[in-house]
Amino acid sequence: MTVFNLYLKILNKNKIAIIVYIVIFTILTLIMVNTIYVQDSFSNTKVDIAFIDDDNTEYTNNLKDYISDYAVIKNIKKEDLEDAFFYRDIEMIIEIPQGFTNSLASENKLNIETKTIPDSAQSVTLQRAMEKYINLSRVYIENDLKTDNLHQSLKDILDNEAKVNINSKIKVDYTNSEFYFNYLAYVLLAMLVTVIGSIMTSFRPIEIKRRNNLGSVSNKKMNLILLISNLLLGIFIWLIFIIISIILYSDIMLKTNGLLLMINCLIFLFTVISIAYLFVVIFKSGNVIGALATVVSLGSSFLTGVFIPQFLLDDFIIKIAKFIPSYWYVKANSNISTLYNYNNTTLKPIYSSFIIQIIFTFVFIILSLFISKYKQREEN
């Protein structure tokens, strides 16, 4: 109990770091939470645009009305357009010159100026739709076709659309919970390695070791209690994040997939603790371990697809990433999130990711034992 109390005392000194991590992480995920939706009817993928109409006639307003099926027209001040385009708040700028409507009937054609992202698939659809509308109007005007209302006639034609059958089997969207658990890989690594590192290094100075050797608690027992305390701390923090996840994604977390996500996270937690132990036996100073924790957590997160989906990563980076435990953690999360049929073939990749993480854990434990034995001999 004495050892455990001491542990709690040192932990208390680190409480601010822990609380800050938990709060920032929760706020970040709250920002990222989107509504879960099920698709059952066709809708165009709309592109965000700015529509600058210097002509402002009935015709251009009708055109604007028509393209709102293909685009979300955003209200942006002229001087902010370039910034908005750079940050991709809008993906296309459309400028209709003055006199455009009149030019349709005349020989001197005026052009609509656009600014688009090169090779962008989204703006292609909108461009085609606009060209179609204007060309149809031209056909009407050139041939002097009878019409009471040009826009209405055009609309009657344009309302003829292909029938779309949508057949989507995917009913539950795991994107948010997957993101949450992926991000946890970063938080757990950064937080636990720093905290455990700073607690365990307090026992490192040789004077303290000598003092502890004099005490009635044997070295073995003390290390065991410390280990259990660290595990308890890990599980406690794991529980906090699980509870938050259940609150955020209650409809998902209490199902089989949610349970698998939790188990995966628990397995990864042990890997993280073993990494922390490895650092503790190698390095003496809490500051160094803290710096390393920052570098390792950020580095492994960037390399293994915590921050960006794995399929976007370079093949070469993926090859390296396979030697990092969080790669398997993220992979398992993504497999779990696309799991709809529960059978051997679909579950196998998940289990193998579990096992690989466990192997990593054992490797780290064996390494730490080996190094600490070696160092102890040196000290004696």
Pick 33 or 295: Cβ nearer other proteins: 295
Report the phi/psi class of residue 99: left, alpha or beta, with left for phi > 0 and alpha for psi in -120 to 50.
left
Pick 113 or 251: Cβ nearer other proteins: 113
Strand partners, 51: 94
Q: What six digits make up the tokens of 246?
A: 């259940």
Q: What is the Cα–Cα distance from 65 to 4, expressed in whole angstroms?
A: 70
Pick 58 or 156: Cβ nearer other proteins: 156
Window of 52-60, 79-87, 215-223, 349-357 that interacts with other proteins by CB under 8 A? 79-87
Told to check if 127 binds other proteins by CB under 8 A, we report yes
Q: How far is the CB of 17 from other proteins (least distance, A)?
A: 10
Window of 108-116, 186-194, 237-245, 257-265 that interacts with other proteins by CB under 8 A? 108-116
Pick 28 or 239: Cβ nearer other proteins: 28
Pick 45 or 380: Cβ nearer other proteins: 45
Q: Judge contact between 192 and 231, C-beta under 8 A.
A: no
Q: What is the Cα–Cα distance from 260 to 254, expressed in whole angstroms?
A: 10
Q: How far is the CB of 51 from other proteins (least distance, A)?
A: 13
Window of 115-123, 197-205, 329-337, 350-358 that interacts with other proteins by CB under 8 A? 115-123
List 25, 51, 85, 186, residue binding other proteins (CB under 8 A): 85
List 169, 171, 220, 377, residue binding other proteins (CB under 8 A): 169
Tokens 């004077």 belong to 207
Residue 41: count other Cβ atoms within 10 Å of its Cβ.
6
Pick 100 or 268: Cβ nearer other proteins: 100
Window of 162-170, 196-204, 263-271, 337-345 that interacts with other proteins by CB under 8 A? 162-170
Residues 18-37 that bind other proteins (CB under 8 A): none
∠ CA(331), CA(36), CA(254), 5° rounding? 65
Q: How far is the CB of 162 from other proteins (least distance, A)?
A: 4
Q: What six digits make up the tokens of 123?
A: 């703006």
Pick 34 or 45: Cβ nearer other proteins: 45
Q: Which residues contact 270 (CB under 8 A, 6 or more apart)?
A: 234, 358, 361
Told to check if 319 binds other proteins by CB under 8 A, we report no
List 5, 12, 107, 146, residue binding other proteins (CB under 8 A): 146
Phi, psi of 92 (to 5 degrees): -155, 140
Q: Judge contact between 133 and 148, C-beta under 8 A.
A: no
Pick 109 or 377: Cβ nearer other proteins: 109
Residues 225-284 that bind other proteins (CB under 8 A): none
Sheet containing 71-74, strands listed edge to edge, beginning at the edge strand earlier in sequence: 71-74, 47-53, 92-96
Told to check if 150 binds other proteins by CB under 8 A, we report no
Window of 195-203, 301-309, 342-350, 354-362 that interacts with other proteins by CB under 8 A? 301-309
Residue 1: count other Cβ atoms within 10 Å of its Cβ.
7
Q: What is the Cα–Cα distance from 94 to 73, expressed in whole angstroms?
A: 10
Told to check if 345 binds other proteins by CB under 8 A, we report no
Q: What is the Cα–Cα distance from 264 to 328, expressed in whole angstroms?
A: 10
Residues in the chain: 380
